[in-house]
Amino acid sequence: MEKEECFIKFQPNNFRLKPTTVWSFPDRGSWATHSGKYRGNWSPYVPRNLILRYSKPGDWLLDQFMGGGTTLVEAKLLNRNAVGVDINPQSVSISETNLKFQCETKSKIFAKNGDATNLHFIKDGHIDFICTHPPYANIIKYSNGIEGDISLLCVDEFLEKMNKVAEESFRVLKKGKMCAVMIGDVRRYGKVLPLGFRMMECFLSAGFTNKEIIIKEQHNCRSTEYWRNQNNSFLLLAHEYIFVFQK
């Protein structure tokens, strides 16, 4: 009876791995402690698909932009070990709260206050899979001035930092393993800035190769209705990219 109750509570219904490079999740997912309260966090369906496809039970996962801890919750549910890192101490506190549930796995999960550009506390080649969702430059500001917070930076400064994030990702990941990063484009003065592909180049320059480029349809964006009502002469951005790199 306990096993059945745990399954109902902590797993999505009728889940199947996505078989193509186009993903869409109209229902963002609300099992376990998942919710949309942390602004800009990704649907748990995304890390669940990635974790199941690119790692195995007992592996060590890294999310260096953990936000509200979505990746860490999925790692715990799926019997993976994980390290979550975020520059904002409030994110660490929220993640630790979201991880306070009991399930049958024996995962080791750590939420740490730190800088994604300097993962000195992780040894070379220690991580089996990276699964992360960085901010989209300064589209959403996640702090009021925390040093090292890349969500406060303009696009060019953001990309300079992402070069260092990519280098650290390459260093800590085991050879042959995967690094999945979700990011979207941005618009400035009516013009599209291809932030996704510019960030992709950061990871390629660090030594990664492209395994997959996944297009994720965007749902439930808070600003959609505002821009739809402005009668603008440009299309609303309704997709994000999930780049899967290999070391």
**Is residue 196 very low, low, confident or very high in pLDDT (cuts 50, 70, 90)?**
very high
Residue 236, pLDDT score: 84
Over 60: is that where the pLDDT of 228 sits? no
Q: Over the stretch 54-105, which tens digit does the pLDDT of each residue have?
A: 999 999 999 999 999 999 999 999 999 999 999 999 999 999 999 999 898 9
Share of the chain above pLDDT 90, in %: 70
Over 80: is that where the pLDDT of 231 sits? no
For residues 48 and 41, give the distance between their C-alpha atoms in angstroms, rounded to a whole number: 14
Residue 3, pLDDT score: 42
Q: Are 52 and 78 in contact (CB under 8 A)?
A: yes
* Fold of the domain built from segment(s) 41-246: Rossmann fold (3.40.50)
Mean pLDDT of the chain: 90
Residue 176, pLDDT score: 98
Q: Are 217 and 237 in contact (CB under 8 A)?
A: no
Residue 1, pLDDT score: 35
Nearest to 243 by CA among 185, 197, 177, 174: 197
Tokens standing for 105?
């796995």
**Is residue 9 very low, low, confident or very high in pLDDT (cuts 50, 70, 90)?**
low
pTM of the model as a whole = 0.90
Residue 225, pLDDT score: 54
